[in-house]
């Protein structure tokens, strides 16, 4: 009888340990599941007070549900430690609101990643979406399925999540974000009948063309060079700035060559809207001869910031 009691006690103790380990693994897996750390902000400064519909309550709720949707959902099969999460911000500027919960807005998605061995964060993407149109009624949960069109709000947020993942993975591994670029395009394809921002017939800077550029074979060298720029140049800049600048110049020449064959692509604007300030800072540390040589290349590729680039030659 003693032995039976002892065996039963041992079995119970073993089962308890197994159960505790399983719970611990589930907790760890949940903690590591989420990949994105996105800060969402909403501004109503551009709409009339009578359009704001109890601004504090509804917009605080909207901000929270959008942030929770991006940050609490699992977007990949990879586990991320807290310090590995992808940092991004989504700033939504409401331009129109109705009593029925219909909203028109502009949105800016910025994605960053740390540069190895430094406290500096480089901007991977700085995308402005001028067709952020959606419907939201207070208390409505945000639901999403990769295989179906759900609603415009969750569709746009999912697109942003996959876009952030594609750019982040591409910066660490050559074409590493391919799977997420394909998922972003799938989001676009499912939303083809949803109106502005999703169609190829609209603005060439819209969501359709961003996804198309990521998967366009004629632009593949730009994505491959994105890895070179970040993993080989930026991550080694603190140790070897001269060689890092050399690799960046090679990538800029690649952009020039591709743009001559494929002008007017949104990729070029995405790159320079994210990198213009960084490029100025990088080449301001270069010798004068090098700065003078790089100015014509920068001004030809990014004429919007040509005045700032010309200061490098002084």
CB 70 within 8 A of CB 39: no
Q: Which residues pair with 87 in a beta bridge?
A: 37, 112
State pLDDT tens for residues 274-297.
Answer: 999 999 999 999 999 999 999 999
| Separation CA 142–CA 129 (nearest Å) | 20
pLDDT higher than 50, residue 17: no
**Sorting pLDDT into bands at 50, 70 and 90, what band is 39?**
very high
Give the pLDDT confidence score for residue 94 in this predicted structure.
96
Strands (E), the chain: 36-43, 86-97, 102-114, 121-135
Question: For residue 11, what are the CA distances in angstroms to 22, 23, 81?
Answer: 16, 18, 34
Please say if the pLDDT value at position 199 is more than 70.
yes
Q: Which residue has the higher pLDDT, 177 or 49?
A: 177
Residues 6+ apart with CB under 8 A from 95: 46, 47, 104, 105, 106
Q: What pLDDT is stored for residue 212 in this prediction?
A: 98
Question: How much of the chain exceeds pLDDT 70, in percent?
Answer: 87
Partners of 121 in the β-ladder: 114
Distance CA 86, CA 38 (A): 8
Count of beta carbons in the 10 Å neighbourhood of residue 300 = 13
Note the pTM of the prediction, 2 decimals: 0.88
pLDDT confidence bin for 198, thresholds 50/70/90? very high
Q: How many CB atoms lie within 10 A of CB 91?
A: 16
Q: How confident is the model at residue 52, as a pLDDT?
A: 55
The pLDDT score that the predictor gives to residue 53 is 54
The dihedral through the CA atoms of 304, 277, 215, 75 has a sign that is: negative
**What's the pLDDT score for residue 3?**
47
The rounded distance, in Å, linking the Cα atoms of 84 and 213 is: 27
pLDDT band for 195, please (50, 70, 90 cuts): confident
Distance CA 101, CA 200 (A): 27
Yes or no: say if 44 and 55 are a contact pair by the CB < 8 Å rule. yes
pLDDT given for residue 201 in this prediction: 79
Q: What is the mean pLDDT of residues 61-87?
A: 96
What pairing do the DSSP bridges indicate for beta strands 86-97 and 36-43?
parallel
Q: Which of the four pLDDT bands, split at 50, 70 and 90, describes residue 196?
A: confident
Of residues 153 and 33, the one with the higher pLDDT is 153
Ordered by start, the domain boundaries in the chain are 1-33, 35-162
Q: Considering the chain, what is the average pLDDT of its residues?
A: 90
Residue carrying structure tokens 């992808």: 86
Tell me the mean pLDDT in the region 13-30: 40
pLDDT at residue 6 tops 60: no
């Amino acid at each position: 009888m003693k032995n039976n009691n002892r065996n039963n006690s041992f079995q119970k103790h073993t089962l308890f340990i197994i159960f505790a380990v399983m719970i611990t693994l589930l907790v760890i897996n949940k903690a590591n599941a989420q990949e994105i750390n996105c800060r969402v902000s909403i501004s109503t400064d551009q709409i009339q007070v009578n359009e704001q519909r109890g601004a504090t309550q509804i917009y605080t709720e909207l901000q929270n549900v959008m942030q929770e949707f991006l940050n609490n959902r699992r977007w990949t099969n990879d586990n991320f430690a807290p310090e590995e999460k992808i940092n991004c911000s989504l700033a939504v500027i409401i331009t129109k609101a109705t009593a029925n919960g219909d909203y028109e807005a502009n949105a800016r998605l910025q994605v960053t990643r740390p540069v190895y061995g430094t406290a500096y964060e480089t901007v991977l993407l700085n995308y402005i979406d001028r067709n952020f149109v959606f419907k939201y009624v207070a208390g409505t949960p945000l639901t999403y399925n990769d295989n179906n069109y759900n609603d415009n709000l969750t569709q746009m947020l999912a697109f942003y999540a996959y876009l952030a993942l594609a750019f982040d993975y591409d910066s660490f591994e050559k074409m590493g974000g391919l799977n997420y670029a394909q998922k972003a395009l799938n989001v676009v394809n499912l939303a083809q009948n949803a109106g502005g921002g999703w169609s190829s017939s609209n603005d060439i800077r819209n969501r359709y063309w961003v996804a198309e550029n990521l998967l366009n074979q004629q632009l593949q060298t730009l994505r491959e060079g994105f890895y070179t720029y970040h993993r080989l140049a930026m991550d080694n800049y603190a140790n070897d700035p001269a060689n890092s600048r050399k690799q960046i110049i090679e990538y800029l020449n690649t952009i020039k060559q591709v743009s001559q064959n494929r002008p007017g692509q949104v990729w070029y604007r995405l790159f320079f809207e994210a990198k213009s300030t960084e490029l100025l800072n990088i080449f301001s540390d270069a010798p004068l001869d090098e700065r003078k040589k790089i100015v014509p290349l920068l001004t030809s590729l990014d004429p919007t910031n040509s005045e700032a680039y010309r200061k490098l030659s002084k």
